[in-house]
């Protein structure tokens, strides 16, 4: 790890790393350790709305990351984290737990429009003490009609795992996406416009 990082990215997501590199931002990783139950933070509450869910989870992730930074006695630098979820109507679609789960998610999304919600948050030390800021991006995605054979082939590629809604727009599922109304980078997991605004607030430049 760098001795004086410009920014900590509190995520192990290669997609978020790729997107930060895309806008020329240098960073060090501050991913959860094996002693942390990161998945537990992503549990939805009963009847929780998707926007409330993704904002709450992102705030919890940010708090955990700041505590991790202090626990590891790391040099001071702003901390960035994000969380993404997929919503079909009032239903939150998280990460599939099995091939059958992934198939069921994709069958529900096929030939319909769903929302991809990504919240991004930052914590940093300002002139008047610790500060945090959060932004939410909501993008509407139209998925084409899919046959069971197409879904089975996609699930067999192992791409659905670890991805909200069971697909990744930057991978093979790009062939299924008929229309995106909003932020492509937000669907990938880190909306770059909102992220750039937060970086500017925290005094981080490319």
Report, as residue numbers or ranges, the catalytic residues. 83
* R_g of the chain, CA atoms, integer Å: 17
User: What sections of the chain are H helices per DSSP?
Assistant: 14-22, 50-71, 99-109, 148-156, 184-188, 192-201
- Residue ranges with strand state E in 127-193: 129-143, 177-181
Nearest in space to 56 (alpha carbons), one of 30, 85, 13, 36: 85
Q: What is the pLDDT of residue 1?
A: 41
In a domain, 179, yes or no: yes
User: What sections of 7-95 are H helices per DSSP?
Assistant: 14-22, 50-71
In a domain, 182, yes or no: yes
In a domain, 141, yes or no: yes
The number of distinct structural domains making up the chain is 1
Digitized pLDDT (tens) for each residue of the chain, 206 residues in all: 444 678 999 998 999 999 999 999 999 999 888 888 777 888 899 999 999 999 999 999 999 999 999 999 999 999 999 999 999 999 999 999 999 999 999 999 999 999 999 999 999 998 888 999 999 999 999 999 999 999 999 999 999 999 999 999 999 999 999 999 999 999 999 999 999 999 999 999 76
pTM given for the model = 0.93
Q: What is the pLDDT of residue 4?
A: 62
Q: What is the pLDDT of residue 2?
A: 42
CATH number where 179 lies = 3.90.950.10
In a domain, 2, yes or no: no
In a domain, 79, yes or no: yes
Range of the domain at 128: 8-201
């Amino acid at each position: 790890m760098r001795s004086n990082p410009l920014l900590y990215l509190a995520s192990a997501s290669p997609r978020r790393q790729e997107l930060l590199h895309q806008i020329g931002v240098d960073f060090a990783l501050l991913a959860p350790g094996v002693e942390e139950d990161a998945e537990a933070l992503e549990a939805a509450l009963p009847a929780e709305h998707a926007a409330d869910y993704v904002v709450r989870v992102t705030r919890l992730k940010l708090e955990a990351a700041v505590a991790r930074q202090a626990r590891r006695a790391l040099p001071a630098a702003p901390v960035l984290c994000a969380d993404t979820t997929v919503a079909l109507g009032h239903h939150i679609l998280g990460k599939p737990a099995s091939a059958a789960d992934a198939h069921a998610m994709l069958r529900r999304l096929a030939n319909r429009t769903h929302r991809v919600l990504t919240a991004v948050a930052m914590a940093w030390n300002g002139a008047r003490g610790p500060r945090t800021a959060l932004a939410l991006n909501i993008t509407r995605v139209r998925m084409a009609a899919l046959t069971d054979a197409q879904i089975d082939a996609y699930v067999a590629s192992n791409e659905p795992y670890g991805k909200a809604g069971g697909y990744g727009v930057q991978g093979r599922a790009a062939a299924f996406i008929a229309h995106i109304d909003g932020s492509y980078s937000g669907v990938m997991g880190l909306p770059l416009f909102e992220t750039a605004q937060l970086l500017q607030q925290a005094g981080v430049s490319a």
